[in-house]
A and B are shown apart, each in its own frame.
Chain A
Amino acid sequence: MRDDIWHEGLETAAILLCDPKRSGDDWRLVVREMHVVPPAACLVRTATAVVVDPAFGLPIEKKGRVEGLSLVYCHTHPHQTKHVVFSHIDDHAEIELAKYAEARIPGIPHCALVFGSEAETARRLGTEETVKVTDIPHETASTYDRQIRAFGEDGQSALARLRLGVVGLGGTGSVVVQQLAHLGVADFLLIDPDAVETTNLNRTVGSTPKSVGEPKVSVAARMIRSVRPDARIEEIEGDVVDEGPAKRLTECDFVFCCTDSHASRHVINQLAYQYGIPAIDMGVVVDASGSTVTFAGHVKALEDGEACLWCLNHLDPKQIREEMMTPDQRKADPYVVGARVVQPSIISINSTVASAAVTMFLSMVTGLDAPARFLVYDGNRQRLSGVVAERNPTCNFCGPDSPAGRKDLEPLPVRRHG
């Protein structure tokens, strides 16, 4: 903004309209509109003074009154650099301005902001009460405008701050990260051991025929960067059932489980409760073995107070045992059945479930009003419904005697390489 109004020799001015947000005893003013005062609207404009024609301010102040916005009167001090202070003239002028602003738009704070060439100082209009000025990247105000209208500036900045772990970057995971990138998530940890195969191209969002053979995490990272070039992305081409990748996941603020491996889901389920890191598990099943195709899915939040996947009997112990085996162990065990049957998969069904998961995430993080924490998708009936999930009060994974909340005091259920 300084760049927009700065003049080397003469004082310049602008008026901002800001959304006033109460947070506790404090206020936060988020700039919504900036009105630069053109030279023609200055009654006085010298190296040490600028006086704005009241006629310029009138429509802006009127808009502020109608929409309940705070006024921030800005001007520059061309002779000041890093040490920026209000002048006596400013002190004097603000007394009347403060009375005027309070009379026009009462009950919310209005401010004065003065720019030097390298710094700025702000205060509540007509007082010595200083106000902190922080930069929100320009994109937050414009790119995410439609979102901010839905879940607020606080919700948007929460999204921008979170480190998101996404495990599995296939059918649902690729959709999830694409949506997260558009939403403004900027810090990703991606975990998947697999490379893209030709048969994945039908449903891996962001893949192209050239992606065959490329790690799924790399395809996902490239897609995220195409949406958000500034995103911080770490790619782990590994299995979350192994200790290394699983430990890295404990650095995240939120985890998406987008894998159909029961062992991975077991690990993430426990990690969520043990480390208090909220997670969302999702799954899609398309069954074409009968005479008709049936398809269904689920989305389940895993967080303190919510039933876990074991409470719901959603995990298969036998399958976990087999998936936890190393390839050598699997080969040595004559009872383990061979390659798994290839399941049908359809991008639109994956996307329905992934979208429901992302919306649940928004509800958990921004407070968006969508309280269901267990959703069941009945594809054939095209019905997505919230379901009550009963907790098992003695659950070994989320109950009072479980590792829940014990963080590093408990081992994660992962393969270690001793």
Chain B
Amino acid sequence: MLSSVTERQFERVKERYPEGTLQGLPSGAALVSIPGIALPPGWSAASTNVHFLVPVGYPGPPPDCFWADQTLRLAGGGQPQASNIQQIPETVIVGLWFSWHVVDGQSNWSPNRDDLMTFVSIVIDRLRRPQ
């Protein structure tokens, strides 16, 4: 069972990314997957699938880190900073894990102001800067 707050916030993500999915996981966490996110030049591909975990207890604790396609590289073939190949916990999906604590260490996360769309924007912002 997913919390109604998570589901409601995900509806906002769907408005923007109609192909997105939200899947509950056994631990109580959930997986958000958004296929076909367009990438700017500087990456090895024109688009990637993106996944991130909605943590147990959300929206108290913020999401953290995300996964892109495991084949994604920088345009020159190099490994993006702070990334490695990793299976997404509780799933069979293997992806390129961006272990950035992308919410600036979440220190700025406020569960009564930020939502899943905030986190999607943070992911997109990271992908806008190929490095």
Contact = CB atoms under 8 A, between A and B. Distances in A.
Counting contact residues on chain A (CB < 8 A from B), the size range is 35 or more
A21 interface: no
A315 B28 contact: no
A334 interface: yes
A418 B27 contact: yes
Interface in B27-61: 27-28, 55-61
B121 interface: no
Interface in A352-382: none
B86 to A, nearest CB: 9
A313 B111 CA distance: 9
B99 A415 contact: no
B2 A411 contact: yes
Contact of B105 (A243, A266, A318, A333): A318
Interface string B78-118: 00000000000110000000010100011101111000000
Task: Report which residue of B3, B5, B99 has the largest number of chain A beta carbons within 10 angstroms of its beta carbon.
Answer: B3
B112 A395 contact: yes
Interface residues of B, number: 30
A333 to B, nearest CB: 8
B111 A396 contact: yes
Interface in A371-418: 392, 394-397, 401-403, 406, 410-411, 413-418
Given A310-B112, A392-B112, A418-B90, A413 B58 contact: yes
Nearest to B26: A418
Contacts of B64: 321
Given A263-B57, A392-B112, A410-B3, A317 B106 contact: yes
A160 interface: no
Contacts of A397: 60, 111-112
A266 B55 CA distance: 13
Given A335-B101, A394-B112, A317 B3 contact: no
User: Chain A contact residues: over half helix, strand or loop, or mixed?
Assistant: loop
B5 A401 contact: yes
A405 to B, nearest CB: 12
Nearest to B8: A401
B25 interface: yes
Contacts of B105: 318, 335
A416 B27 contact: yes
A148 to B, nearest CB: 41
A320 B5 contact: no
User: Chain B contact residues: over half helix, strand or loop, or mixed?
Assistant: loop
Contacts of B90: 418
Given A266-B60, A335-B99, A414-B28, A321 B106 contact: yes
A13 interface: no
Given A413-B57, A416-B28, A396 B5 contact: yes
Nearest to B105: A318
B25 A418 contact: yes
Contacts of A392: 112
A241 B3 CA distance: 16
Nearest to B6: A411
Nearest to B2: A411
Contacts of B101: 335
Contacts of A243: 28
Contact of B59 (A318, A335, A396): A396
Given A392-B112, A418-B25, A411 B61 contact: no
Given A401-B8, A413-B56, A317 B26 contact: no
16 contacts: A263-B57, A270-B60, A311-B112, A317-B106, A318-B61, A318-B106, A318-B107, A335-B99, A396-B111, A403-B4, A411-B3, A413-B28, A413-B56, A413-B60, A414-B57, A415-B28
Given A243-B28, A266-B60, A416-B56, 18 more contacts: A263-B60, A310-B112, A315-B60, A318-B62, A318-B106, A321-B55, A321-B106, A324-B61, A334-B99, A396-B111, A397-B112, A403-B5, A410-B1, A413-B28, A413-B56, A414-B28, A415-B28, A416-B27
